[in-house]
Amino acid sequence: MKIVAYQFQGLRGLGVVDDADAIIPLAETDPGLPSDLIRILESPDGLDRIRRTSAGRRGSIALSDVTLKPFLGRPNAMWALALNFKTHIAETGLTTSPDYPHIFLRTGASFVGHREALRCPPPEVARAFDYEGELAVVIGRAGRHIPPEKAFEHIAGYTCLNEGSVREYQIQNRQFGLGKNFEESGSYGPWLMTTDEFGDPARQRVTTRVNGVTRQDSTLDDMLFDVAHVVSYLSEGYCLRPGDLIAMGTPGALKPGPNDADGRDMSKQYGPFKVPGLVHMRPGDLVEVEISGLGILANPVTDDLPREYRAAVPV
């Protein structure tokens, strides 16, 4: 089952995507369901209710006619892993603990949805604005002290995530802080695919493309700490909650081909590590994160809003 948050003709809603890429609007099939996916996940039979109300129906709105939004509103926590793929550890030259996942946090405001624009800082602020194609886990059932073998019982599903990072800010001090939390610098989507449909994440692969050129491509079994381990680890100290998200880390850059001038030109890399095949995101780019068996998250990159004092929430 693929669950989306969408905007259509000015109205927001949740829906299930059918086999013909049409949306079954939950507000029509089950008006009693909350409009916030986290509230639905908080109910023990929430996902079952979505499944029942959409079973056998055909969608009434074409997926191509809507704007998809981030389907998690304001979860309690959006965890992320640094240095969790062996190829990424190698390319950065950094070390990480072999015993404990390398964990930091992002906020909801740092993410947009599928096809929404990622905001690239202007060059005088930062030039190393980097994609990180990742698998993200969405918690469905609360839990503390979850043993790895029970981890999957607590997962509602998965999504694609671009953990967009402003490297200059990320390395200003030891904690990543603001560099991983620029406004609308990352994205997730296009949908939440439930565990029953996605199956074992380790069997799938993540691919990142920039303007059609593949820049990352890795199986999801290359993780230092796998999904079950990370869920279990976080629950040692924290009660994972419905709607919490865990971004599982990104693989290293793919070696550039002989004709890939952009990928071979390392003189235009401004981040803390320079590797062949890494390019920064720039306004005008289209960045796609694909996870096999799940879908493609695509985002254009646009300029950040002008650098002027604004006493208002962005749209």
By CB under 8 A, name the binding residues for a second copy: 74, 76-77, 79, 82, 96-97, 99-110, 121, 125, 141-147, 150, 153-154, 166, 169, 172-179, 181-183, 185, 233-234, 236-239, 241, 305, 307-314
In the chain, what's the furthest Cα-to-Cα distance?
57
Q: Shortest gap between Cβ of 280 and a second copy (angstroms)?
A: 16
Q: Which backbone phi and psi does 157 adopt, to 5 degrees?
A: 175, -160
Query: Residue 240 carries which DSSP code?
Result: B
Give the nearest distance from C-beta 7 to a second copy in angstroms: 20
Least Å from the CB of residue 35 to a second copy: 16
Contact criterion met (CB below 8 Å) for 28 and 13: no
| Beta carbon nearer to a second copy, 15 or 242 | 242
Residue 134's nearest CA partner among 226, 208, 227, 69 is 208
One-letter identity of residue 139: I
Token match 């953990």: residue?
163
CB nearer to a second copy: give 175 or 292: 175
CA distance to 78, 104, 116, 129, per residue, from 83 (Å): 17, 11, 27, 17
Between 24 and 246, name the residue whose CB sits nearer to a second copy: 246
Calpha distance 41→26 (Å, rounded): 14
> Cβ distance 104 to 145 under 8 Å?
no
C-alpha 79, offset from chain centre: 11
The C-alpha atoms of residue 159 and residue 296 are separated, in whole angstroms, by 9
State the minimum distance, in angstroms, from the CB of residue 234 to a second copy: 6
Tokens for 224, please give them. 């230092």
CB closer to a second copy out of 68 and 120: 120
Query: Which amino acid is present at 274?
Result: K
Nearer to a second copy, 8 or 104 (CB): 104
Cβ 116 to a second copy, closest distance in Å?
Answer: 16
| Residues written for the chain | 315
For residues 235 and 37, what is the distance between their CA atoms, to the nearest angstrom?
A: 22
By beta-carbon proximity to a second copy, the closer residue of 290 and 304 is: 304
Compare residues 108 and 272 and give the one whose CB is closer to a second copy.
Answer: 108
Tell me the closest approach of the beta carbon of residue 282 to a second copy, in angstroms: 17
State the nearest-atom distance from the C-beta of 33 to a second copy, in Å. 20
